[in-house]
Structure 1
């Protein structure tokens, strides 16, 4: 069954230290905004990480992005509709 709500990926660059993922995910949780999938990898020698969040595109998304940019450990937030295929491929590999 095709999805009625399109999905997008938030490409987030953050400081890499304990608690950052909790802060980012907590922002979504407090606002009852579901994160469908998460991919996180260290970069720049481990000082920063790149988090990809697969989320539904709804009328609250722009506000979520603005709020995320206010978090102390967030360096950058970009939106990419093209990167959703990565999550589809991972789901296939993982048997989902």
Structure 2
């Protein structure tokens, strides 16, 4: 039987993080260690150059609150916002591929 993905379970975590080497590695490492799946990542530097905005698309509804708690603990994560049902940034990228 083929598994199907529940689109309505997709959430996007929008983070503002410090912009320096290793931040992406720390965030992805947390997801890897906890066996959380990331379905999409977009990261761009903000105008100040000191911070970046990162969007993580996840389909882990039953683990989402725990993911948020763990990400908040990372010292380079300045803010985190949850968007249920996806986010326009991934919709725009989807048009390009």
Give the Cα–Cα distance (whole angstroms) in 1 for the partners of residues 65 and 38 of structure 2.
15
Pairwise mapping of residues 1-96 of structure 1 onto structure 2 (< 5 A)? 3-4=5-6, 6-81=9-84, 83-94=86-97
Contact 2:39 2:57 in 1 (8 A): yes
1:92, distance to aligned residue in structure 2 (A): 2.7
Q: CA RMSD in A?
A: 1.7
Give the Cα–Cα distance (whole angstroms) in 2 for the partners of residues 28 and 74 of structure 1.
14
The count of corresponding residues between Structure 1 and Structure 2 is 93
Give the Cα–Cα distance (whole angstroms) in 2 for the partners of residues 26 and 8 of structure 1.
19
TM normalised by structure 2 equals: 0.85
Unaligned 5+ segments in structure 2 are none
Runs (4+) off by over 3 Å: none
Contact 2:38 2:57 in 1 (8 A): yes
